[in-house]
Amino acid sequence: MKILAINPGSTSTKIAVYENETPILVRNIRHTVEELSAYPQVIDQFEFRKNLVLQELEANGIPFAFDAIVGRGGLVKPIPGGVYEVNDAMKRDTLHAMRTHVCNLGGLIADELSSSLPSCRAFIADPGVVDELEDIARITGSPLMPRITIWHALNQKAIARRFAQEQHTHYESLDLIICHLGGGISIAVHQHGRAIDANNALDGEGPFSPERAGTLPAGQLIDLCFSGQFTKDELKKRISGRAGLTAHLGTTDVAAIIQSIEKGDKKAELVIDAMIYNIAKAIGAASTVLCGKIDAILLTGGIAYSDYVVSRLTKRIAFLAPIYVYPGEDEMEALALNALSALKGELPIQIYK
């Protein structure tokens, strides 16, 4: 069976072609800020990203013939994890998604491309809105604002399964805390194969990250909203996009920030150490969800390549559980293998309503 996986990211479009379990093409097409700035809204990038996928296939001599095309899922309604067929309800909700995020294009491109092929299915898998929270985790101090979760479900679940395989056990048998250290930072508690707690990494909960503000002082935020200094869109960007490391230090490039720390940049040192401190506090809080009975803490995402960050974080959290580091992400393989398992009937194909 042949699978095409498409993962639109804020700075890249990743594509992979799998023949059963074997990758035959894996590409990361990078985009410059100038290139993307030609498109006022994320949805305006649809044709551009779709054509890039087609060009990449052609350039690599891959015939356009697939049994399934699977895209990174968008920020639709909260749903349990797994594989979903792209349908009209999902497309409608994606086009009116509650939050702008380039992942919204994944399922739409998969659907459009698959519609030109006979008997090719379009799927998404484990989108950022996967919601397996316990009810107790939804309650906040205001009934007007229940907790929601937006997190790196696809990579976290893929890394959890990889760890379980390495330990000769099953994801469903483990109690894990997983921390994805990327442009956004998500921390989830996985109890026996369900993510019973996870932060809203995108807009306003958890540690700050290279691009996200994380939890903010609510009173000050309200004052800022009514200060007349910013439009609604500008303020939203101060929470997600132009926030975190990039707001403090003008860059999201953690390797470059660490180089400047090594040259004596004290401000950069303070800000990175504050980010590590906040990540450690959030992992500590997550440990209480499992009453401290944690099989392992898994660190993943691009920043997990950094010894500077991982060693300092480890110092603060090592008392909680054994720590395992999986730098980068497994999203392309996870997308392709989820689609393959769905086609083979090993995973249910869920219906989005």
Residues that bind ligand ATP in the complex, under the rule CB under 6 A: 9-11, 152, 182-184, 210, 252-255, 301-303, 305-306, 329
Q: Which does 255 bind (CB under 5 to 8 A by kind): ligand ATP, ligand CCCC(=O)O, none?
A: ligand ATP
Q: Pull the structure tokens for residue 242.
A: 């132009």
| Beta-bridge partners for 24 | none
Other CB atoms within 10 Å distance of the CB of residue 159: 28
User: Is 184 a binder of ligand CCCC(=O)O (CB under 6 A)?
Assistant: yes
Cα torsion angle, 75, 4, 241, 323, sign: positive
Say whether residue 150 binds ligand CCCC(=O)O (CB under 6 A): yes
Structure tokens at 159: 């890394």
As a whole number of Å, the CA-based R_g of the chain is 20
Contact yes or no for 210/254 (Cβ under 8 A)? yes
4 is an interface residue for ligand CCCC(=O)O by CB under 6 A: no
- Three-class SS of residue 307? helix
The smaller minimum CB distance to ligand ATP, of residues 120 and 283, is found at 283
Shortest gap between Cβ of 155 and ligand ATP (angstroms)?
7
Task: Collapse the DSSP code of 248 into the 3-class scheme (helix H, G, I; strand E, B; otherwise coil) and give the result.
Answer: helix
Binding to ligand CCCC(=O)O (CB under 6 A) within 210-229 occurs at 212
Residue span binding ligand CCCC(=O)O (CB under 6 A) among the ranges 18-26, 148-156, 323-331, 334-342: 148-156
- Lookup result for tokens 């303020």: 235
Nearer to ligand ATP (CB atom), residue 254 or residue 336: 254
Under rule CB under 6 A, residue 303 binds ligand CCCC(=O)O: no
Residues 130, 144: Cα–Cα separation, whole Å? 21
In terms of CB distance, is 153 or 272 closer to ligand CCCC(=O)O?
A: 153
Tell me the closest approach of the beta carbon of residue 137 to ligand CCCC(=O)O, in angstroms: 17
Whether 25 and 55 have beta carbons less than 8 Å apart is answered as: no
Q: At what angle do helices 104-114 and 88-95 cross, to 10 degrees?
A: 140
Q: Are strands 121-125 and 83-85 parallel, antiparallel or unpaired?
A: antiparallel
Instruction: Supply 34's token pair.
Output: 């100038």
Q: Which does 128 bind (CB under 5 to 8 A by kind): ligand CCCC(=O)O, ligand ATP, none?
A: ligand CCCC(=O)O
Question: Which residues ranging from 89 to 108 are in contact with ligand CCCC(=O)O (CB under 6 A)?
Answer: none
Q: What does 18 interact with, of ligand CCCC(=O)O, ligand ATP, none (CB < 5 to 8 A by kind)?
A: none
Task: Choose the one of ligand ATP, ligand CCCC(=O)O, none that binds residue 202, judging by a C-beta under 5 to 8 angstroms depending on kind.
Answer: ligand CCCC(=O)O
What H or E segment, with its residue span, contains residue 47? helix 46-59
Q: How far is the CB of 90 from ligand CCCC(=O)O (least distance, A)?
A: 16
201 contacts ligand CCCC(=O)O (rule: CB under 6 A):
yes
HEC string for 144-193: CCCCCCECCHHHHHHHHHHHHHHCCCCHHHCEEEEEEECCCEEEEEEECC
202 belongs to the binding site for ligand CCCC(=O)O (CB under 6 A):
yes
Q: Which residues bind ligand CCCC(=O)O (CB under 6 A)?
A: 128, 150-152, 184, 201-202, 212
